[in-house]
């Protein structure tokens, strides 16, 4: 990458980093990106409210290829958004592609999609609406991956990221004086039964692939020693390699909860939050990526197992061919979603080169 382009992109990445915004709140981020694109390129910018895309148009009846970057930050335990997932790097990289496309003919129309709200699983679900009207033929995106050699391309398996969902289970019984617990209905016993049942619900014999459940919060009653509580809440995150397995686990869990709540005389409510699909890669697109690595002499590795963490990118590849790949951050690099994480700028030239090569392929 030319020094001048790299300097611009590094400054842009830093600027995005300093203006990290939570999912659905990416207004400043959008403004920075659009002003960068307007100043340095003649791409057509299509405003879509929470997200936008920029188009490098070469003509009618040409193939249409899309590249996706997400632009939201992770909200830390202190409630402040920080780019702990590296989406500042994804957006800056897409702008690098925009600069590299300036004045070039690649024989395709190239769509650069700047997606909001990846962290909550809400963004791609909305942005996929842009695929059909623009006749997008294929779509590509990448994620920075800690603990792999810096700049190494990671070609991910057919399922690259697990499906997952948050589950909130609320129980309501009846309060009573702590001296007369038999007059009330305390949901804690039903919650305990459910927690104890989790290992059987996860029995690997009933599933095709990996299935996991993590208890993220459990609350019953308040700090009131005189009261036997009426309300209890359990929060879980469940994930599975295959969406089908995740649905099976959810159904079994719902049935168990219903049975136990009815038996205990409790009211119950189950709701789902932050749901992500499985991310499924098209093997022909993976193959294209591999050939580019070989041709451009870029180091690559093919991974056999999916990442456990979810990506809403999977919504795109349900509709059009595409793939999601990784680029190593460096051995021993901090994990994503941890406080010390910062997108490694040294992988930007590789990321941009791959995108440009895919656009030309």
Q: Which of 37-45, 60-68, 83-91, 255-263 is the region at the interface with Zn ion (rule: CB under 5 A)? A: 83-91
Whole-number minimum distance, CB 158 to Zn ion, in Å? 20
Residue with structure tokens 């999609």? Answer: 113
**Most distant CA pair in the chain, distance:** 80
Minimal distance, residue 157 CB to Zn ion, in Å: 18
Q: Quick one: 75 or 106, whose CB is closer to Zn ion?
A: 75
How many chain residues are in contact with Zn ion, going by CB under 5 A? 1
| Piece of 15-23, 78-86, 280-288, 292-300 that binds Zn ion (CB under 5 A) | 78-86
Residues 227-266 that bind Zn ion (CB under 5 A): none
Contact between residue 119 and residue 72 where contact means Cβ atoms under 8 Å apart = yes
Least Å distance, CB 339 to Zn ion, is 14
> Which residues does residue 211 pair with via DSSP β-bridges, in sequence order?
240
Closest CB 220 distance from Zn ion, rounded Å: 31
- What are the residues whose beta carbons fall under 8 Å from the beta carbon of 352, sequence distance 6 or more? 1, 9, 93, 96, 97, 100
Shortest CB 118 distance to Zn ion, Å: 6
**Closer to Zn ion at the Cβ: 87 or 288?**
87
Q: How far is the CB of 317 from Zn ion (least distance, A)?
A: 16
Nearer to Zn ion, 73 or 261 (CB): 73
DSSP bridge pairs for 213: 238
Residue 208 vs 338, nearer CB to Zn ion = 338
Minimum distance from residue 347 beta carbon to Zn ion (Å): 14
Asked whether 163 and 306 are in contact (CB, 8 A), the reply is no
Q: CA separation (Å) from 359 to 61, 136, 191, 315, 348?
A: 16, 13, 52, 21, 17
**85 forms part of the interface with Zn ion (CB under 5 A):** yes
C-alpha 327 chain-centroid distance: 16
- Residue in the shown chain whose Cβ atom is closest to Zn ion: 85
Angle between helix 87-101 and helix 348-360 axes, rounded to 10 deg: 50
Decide whether 90 or 250 has the Cβ nearer to Zn ion.
Answer: 90
Q: 85 or 266, CB closer to Zn ion?
A: 85
String of b and e for 323-334 (b: at least 16 CB within 10 Å)? bbbbbbbbeebb
Secondary structure (3-state) at 54: strand
Residue 20, Cβ density class (10 Å: 0-12 exposed, 13-18 middle, ≥19 buried)? buried
Phi, psi of 90 (to 5 degrees): -65, -45
Binding span for Zn ion by CB under 5 A among 84-92, 163-171, 242-250, 280-288: 84-92
Q: Which is nearer to Zn ion, 85 or 112 (CB)?
A: 85
Residues that bind Zn ion (CB under 5 A): 85
């Amino acid at each position: 990458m030319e020094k001048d382009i790299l300097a611009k992109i590094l400054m842009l990445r830093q600027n995005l980093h300093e203006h990290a915004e939570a999912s659905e709140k990416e207004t400043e981020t959008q403004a920075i990106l659009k002003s960068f694109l307007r100043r340095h390129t003649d791409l057509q910018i299509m405003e879509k409210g929470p997200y936008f895309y920029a188009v490098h148009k070469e003509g009618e009846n040409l193939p249409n290829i899309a590249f996706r970057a997400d632009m939201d930050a992770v909200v830390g335990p202190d409630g402040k958004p920080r780019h702990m997932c590296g989406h500042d790097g994804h957006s800056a990289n897409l702008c690098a592609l925009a600069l590299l496309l300036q004045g070039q003919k690649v024989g395709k129309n190239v769509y650069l999609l700047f997606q909001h709200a990846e962290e909550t699983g809400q963004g791609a679900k909305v942005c996929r609406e842009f695929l059909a009207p623009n006749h997008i033929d294929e779509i590509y995106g990448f994620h920075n991956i800690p603990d792999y050699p810096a700049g190494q391309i990671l070609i991910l398996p057919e399922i690259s990221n697990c499906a997952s969902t948050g589950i909130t289970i609320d129980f309501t019984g009846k309060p009573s004086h702590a001296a007369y617990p038999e007059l009330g209905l305390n949901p804690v016993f039903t919650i305990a039964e459910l927690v104890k049942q989790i290992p059987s619900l996860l029995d690997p014999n009933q599933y095709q692939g990996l299935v996991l459940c993590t208890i993220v919060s459990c609350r019953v009653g308040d700090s009131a020693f005189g009261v036997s509580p009426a309300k209890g809440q359990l929060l879980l995150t469940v994930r599975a390699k295959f969406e089908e397995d995740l649905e099976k686990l959810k159904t079994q869990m719902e049935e168990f909860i219903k049975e136990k709540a009815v038996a205990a005389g409790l009211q119950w409510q189950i709701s789902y939050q932050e749901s992500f699909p499985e991310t499924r890669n098209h093997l022909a697109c993976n193959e294209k990526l591999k050939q580019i690595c070989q041709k451009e002499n870029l180091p690559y590795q093919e991974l056999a197992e999916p990442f456990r963490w979810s990506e809403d990118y999977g919504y795109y590849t349900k509709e059009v061919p595409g793939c999601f790949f990784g680029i190593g951050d460096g051995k021993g690099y901090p994990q994503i979603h941890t406080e010390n994480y910062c997108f490694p700028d040294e992988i930007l030239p590789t990321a941009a080169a791959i995108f440009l090569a895919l656009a030309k392929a």
